[in-house]
Amino acid sequence: MKKLFKNSKRIGIAILILFFAQITFVSAQETSEEEKVYVKIEVNGMACPYCAFGMEKELKKVTGVDNVVIELEEGMIYISTPKSKKPEEKNLSLTIKNAGFTPGSIEYSKKPFKRVESK
């Protein structure tokens, strides 16, 4: 019986250690997250959801591009990415042109852009 209690105690301690290690790891990730850069791109020629899907796939191939949101009706693309991986304007423009669309203005910001809410 003593042996069973010792094993149960060890398992309990091991579970507690793993639990607290998990919490510490998650907290460390949240506090060390890199600053983000937000990009707003005007794109002409996207007419349908398939166009937007294809454009999103192509933009995600650009180094540094993680999150892509396309507002089809507005003709706008919003990207957020770590500051250290900020994509260059020429790479974004070229990607849009190669996908068959016409890039318009490209703006960078340290804060998220206000977007038009979908209806």
User: What is the full per-residue pLDDT of the chain (119 aa) written as tens digits?
Assistant: 555 445 666 665 656 566 555 654 544 444 234 588 999 999 999 999 999 999 999 999 998 888 999 999 999 999 999 999 999 999 999 999 999 999 999 999 998 988 776 55
pLDDT of residue 115: 79
Going 20 to 23 to 28 to 31, the CA torsion angle's sign is negative
| Contact (CB, 8 A) for 86 and 64 | yes
pLDDT of residue 64: 85
Count other Cβ atoms within 10 Å, centred on residue 104: 13
pLDDT of residue 16: 54
